[in-house]
Amino acid sequence: MSAQNPSAPAAHSDAGHDHHGATGHLHISMRDYLIGFVLSVILTAIPFWLVMGDVLESKQLTAFVIMAFAMVQIVVHIVYFLHMTSSAEEGWSFMALIFTLIIIVIALAGSLWVMHHLNTNTMPFHDMQKMQQLP
């Protein structure tokens, strides 16, 4: 109840609810975009420095670190630029994202598996030349 009008409902403070308006839509500020931009630049600059500075000894370790930074950058883009969260209002878009990620992982894993087995089980070029020289 309000102090001015006893029959009116109590005023609700919006101090803790600055992200959602009366319609339930997410309010995006320039600050959120700048945070996303700065994180994206940092998450791009570090792998660039790792490769160009030849910081890590192993090329495989460098590749894994770059992939880890890429995954974190995907999350930054999803949260700060696509504004996808796991909230109830955006449940369907979040589920569509999860489904898409599963399909991408299956396609990439299958492709890498096939390429690895083709590379392992196919005759190398230098062995083929030796076979042609046989009588």
Same domain, 37 and 78: yes
Range of the domain at 48: 28-83
Q: What pLDDT is attached to residue 125?
A: 66
Same domain, 50 and 97: no
C-alpha–C-alpha distance, residues 70 and 68, integer Å: 5
Same domain, 33 and 74: yes
Same domain, 65 and 33: yes
In this prediction, residues 21-30 reach a mean pLDDT of 64
Residue 21, in any domain of the structure: no
Q: What pLDDT is attached to residue 14?
A: 47
pLDDT at position 4 over 50: yes
Match 């309010």 to its residue by tokens: 27
Same domain, 92 and 113: yes
DSSP conformation class of 124: P
Residue 73, in any domain of the structure: yes
C-alpha–C-alpha distance, residues 31 and 21, integer Å: 18
Residue 116, in any domain of the structure: yes
Residue 11, in any domain of the structure: no
Nearest CA to 39 among 97, 95, 84, 79? 79
pLDDT at position 19 over 70: no
pLDDT in tens, 60-80: 899 889 989 988 998 898 888
Same domain, 110 and 92: yes
Same domain, 62 and 93: no
**Start-to-end C-alpha separation, the chain:** 102
Same domain, 65 and 100: no
What is the identity of the amino acid at 51? Answer: V
Q: What band does 129 get if pLDDT is binned at 50, 70 and 90?
A: low
Residue 37, in any domain of the structure: yes
For the chain, the domain total comes to 2
Nearest CA to 87 among 20, 7, 3, 21? 20
Share of the chain above pLDDT 90, in %: 28
Residue 99, in any domain of the structure: yes
pLDDT in tens, 80-116: 888 877 665 666 777 777 888 899 889 989 988 998 8
C-alpha–C-alpha distance, residues 24 and 27, integer Å: 9
Record the pTM.
0.56
